[in-house]
Chains A and B, each alone.
Chain A
Amino acid sequence: MPQQKFRISRYDPVQDRAYEEEFDVEVTPGQTVLDALNLIKWEQDGTLSLRMSCRHAICGSCAIKVNGQSKLACQTQVDAAQDRADANGVIAIGPMGAQTVIKDLVVDTTKFMSQFERAQTWLQPPEGQDPPQREYRQSKDSFDHWSHASSCIHCGACYSDCTVAEIDDNFLGPAALAKAYRFVMDDRDSQHDERLEMLSGSGGIWDCTRCYMCVQACPKDVLPMDAIMELRTEAIKSGKTGNHGTRHSKAFAGGVKKRGRLDEATLPVLSAGIRPGAIPELLGYTPGAIRLLRSRKLFAAAKRHGASKEGRREIKRIFEEVEDQKHHDDMDAVAFETLHEEALKAH
């Protein structure tokens, strides 16, 4: 049976020492990375420490990094990991990111788990009102729209790969935000507006850098980033527009409506907003602007290139028709439903 080399990033808390160790394992086709790690643990080195329980991708215990990407060890075939091994065919194994390592592949999940409390991800039914005798009538459409987001197993793989969580403890992170989405969209919850207000603030939906790491990492197709994006649309619709992200989006769209292309010259100004609070920010753009001038980039940007005349006309028409359509159809909902449907087919 073929031998496979694994290089494991380990940590010994007694000696406070991080080190790498290689193991050779005889792997049979169809075996998972978890199987291989258990073979190491049970037959070679019982000190190798990791969390695991169900071994079929429902408990969320065994999230680790395989070749630098966060995954469930039990859901990752060794064959698939071999495809992405390094130049020498060695599979790299390490603990999750954005969290303190306790020992080997065991990390402290407190920070990750605390985000759910911060985001208040539990149902808040209408206060002072008795629930119905039987069930709340929840429309199938409502349930179908958010139910994929409720399949989160809290494994932390998304948070581990999140490029913002990596550098900012204040960010709620993809899992908590996807869960918040699940409650914003659940018509039994009474805090729709309040949640959107909170989520539009510091550490919330506008701090996501849209890198898709979480969507790529999620073993259950929760599509966290898409949930965050839908929260943005929902928040804007609900009038939570007094923030940078919303102004940025509107300014961006405004520029494209006029000339079919991004209008870099006016974008920063409009994103900051025409308001006293924006002055420090606008002044902050000055060094950057000077740099752009020096490299003669600003002239190019200032030329404000646009689409062809015919193109601009059609683009404007589209903007106006879509704006008009908003009064009859909830095309945003249709757009997101379509996204979910097509994205979930891919597994």
Chain B
Amino acid sequence: MKYAFWPGCVARGAAPELYKSTLAVAKHIGIELDELEAAACTGAGIISDADPYLQDVLNARTLAIAEQKNLPLMDICSTCIGVHSLAREKLENLDYRARINERLAPEGLEYTGTVEPRHLLWIILEDLEEGKLKHLIRKPLEELKLGPFYGCYILRPERVLGFDKHPHRRRSLEAVIELVGATTVTYDGMTKCCGFPILTSNKKNSLTMTGTHLAEATDKGADALVTPCPLCHLNLDAQQADAAKVVDRKLDLPILHIPQLLGLAMGLEPEDLGMNRHVVDTQPLLEKAHIL
């Protein structure tokens, strides 16, 4: 199984543990990744604030590169999957597509709408042979109670995320938590916003959101959160201490990336999954799970 692989900016930047664990897990499962070195940042909806057309061109290009390789496309970030999916909707408009292809033509690229970007989380549930993943789970995380934190763009807007064809995607995180043998902790905040997009422009609101969701999950008994979005991860993990101050609560909740969750359950070494690169210490969690 081979995929065009878009790691996103944060996995190659401030969340290197996501990149590391993705490669480790892919190798272990037998998935070959062809990383799109030439592709650009999706713009995350921030480039489009000033320049929506520009953002669409950059994303059409990424999709076109995958098309050229004739490979399905894998994202590992909720924000990337959201932005790619939204771009795809706009690119269904042939007039617009033509205007965008004008910018791609000099590079010999053309967007034709044949590639469907999907998150690793969906690929795990949709592409593996029945039972294959179950077979790979050597170390079920039965001791752990895990709270999902989806990240907005892997849930909304539903119309671009293929939910009508794949309704299971609405609960994809919960499915994976169940798959690895852990217990899901449901809480209101799990489908809400972490506040990352407004971290620099309205820090108080941003961290209020972060802190509120962390507190709620903690109160419901979660040992850790799992998130498919490295941007959420930054707010939930790197900003946890500041968030705790804003909501006036003690918080100590480690945040896992999807491939880390899978890797631990498949028996991979914590260090190979970058578990030591978190701001909120993951050691107690690993001890609870009898991994350390």
Pick from A168, A243, A332: contact of B205, CB below 8 A.
A168
Beyond A167-B212, A307-B38, whether A249 also contacts B50 by CB under 8 A is: yes
Q: Would you call B15 an interface residue if the criterion is a C-beta within 8 Å of the partner chain's C-beta atoms?
A: yes
Docked-complex contact A163 and B193, CB < 8 angstroms: yes
Check B238 against A297 for contact (C-beta < 8 Å).
Answer: yes
B156: nearest chain-A partner, CB-CB = A212
| Chain A residue nearest in CB terms to B245 | A287
Contact check, A207 vs B193: say whether CB atoms are below 8 A apart: no
What chain A residues lie within 8 Å of B239 (beta carbons)?
A: 288
Q: Are B279 and A297 in contact (CB under 8 A)?
A: yes
Q: Residue B47 contacts which of A68, A256, A295, A346 (CB distance < 8 angstroms)? A: A256
User: Do the beta carbons of A209 and B241 come within 8 Å of each other?
Assistant: no
Segment from B85-93, B133-141, B217-225, B256-264 that makes contact with A: B85-93
Decide: A206 near B201, CB < 8 A? Known: A319-B54, A335-B53.
yes
Residue of B nearest to A299 (CB): B16
Residues of A within 8 A of B14 (CB): 264, 292, 297-298, 300-301
| B51 close to A300 (CB less than 8 A) | no
Task: Name the interface residues of A333-347: CB closer than 8 Å to any CB of B.
Answer: 334-336, 338-339, 341-343, 346
The reply to whether A310 and B54 form a contact with Cβ atoms under 8 Å apart is: no
Which residues in A have their C-beta under 8 angstroms from that of B192?
163, 166, 211, 213
Interface string of A309-347 (1 = CB under 8 A from B): 011001101110110010000011011101101110010
Query: Of A105-113, A121-129, A143-151, A229-237, which stretch is located at the interface?
Result: A229-237
Q: Across the interface, do A335 and B58 meet the contact criterion of CB distance under 8 Å?
A: no
A233-B38 in contact given A163-B193, A288-B238 (Cβ < 8 Å): no
Is there an interface contact between B40 and A315, defined as CB atoms closer than 8 Å? Answer: yes
Number of interface residues of B (CB under 8 A): 69
Residues 236-288 of A at the B interface (beta carbon under 8 Å): 236, 243-246, 248-250, 252-253, 256, 260-262, 264, 268, 271-272, 284, 287-288
Which residues of B lie under 8 Å from residue A271 when comparing CB positions? 200-201
Report the nearest A residue to B151, measured CB to CB.
Answer: A211
| Interchain CB contact (< 8 A) of B53 among A83, A245, A300, A334 | A334
Query: A316 CA to B208 CA in the complex, in Å?
Result: 38
B residues 242-292 touching A (CB-CB < 8 Å):
242, 277-279
Interface residue A15 (Cβ < 8 Å from any Cβ of B)? no
Judged by DSSP, the binding face of A is: helix
Q: Which residues of B contact A318 (CB under 8 A)?
A: 54, 57-58, 61, 103
Residues of A within 8 A of B162 (CB): none
Closest to A341 in B: B93
Contact B159 A332 (CB under 8 A): no
Residues in chain B near residue A140, CB distance under 8 A: none
Contact A253 B50 (CB under 8 A): yes
Least CB separation from B195: chain A residue: A209
Of the stretches B5-13, B24-32, B111-119, B121-129, the one at the interface is B5-13
Contact B202 A334 (CB under 8 A): no
Question: Which residue in A209, A268, A288, A338 is a CB contact (below 8 Å) of B242?
Answer: A288
List 26 A–B pairs whose Cβ atoms lie within 8 Å, in order of A's numbering.
A168-B205, A206-B198, A209-B197, A209-B206, A211-B193, A213-B192, A236-B49, A245-B49, A245-B201, A253-B50, A260-B41, A262-B10, A264-B10, A264-B14, A271-B200, A295-B278, A297-B277, A300-B13, A304-B13, A307-B40, A310-B38, A332-B51, A334-B53, A335-B56, A338-B96, A342-B90
Task: List 9 A-B pairs, minimum CB-CB distance, nearest first.
Answer: A311-B38, A262-B9, A212-B156, A244-B201, A331-B53, A211-B193, A335-B52, A308-B37, A163-B193
**A264-B10, A307-B37, A342-B89 are known contacts; what are 5 more A-B pairs with Cβ within 8 Å?**
A253-B54, A262-B13, A305-B13, A311-B39, A318-B103
The residues of B with any CB-CB pair to A shorter than 8 Å are: 9-10, 12-16, 37-41, 43-54, 56-58, 61, 89-90, 92-93, 95-96, 99, 103, 106-107, 152-153, 156-159, 167, 170, 188, 191-193, 195, 197-198, 200-203, 205-206, 208-209, 212, 238-239, 241-242, 277-279
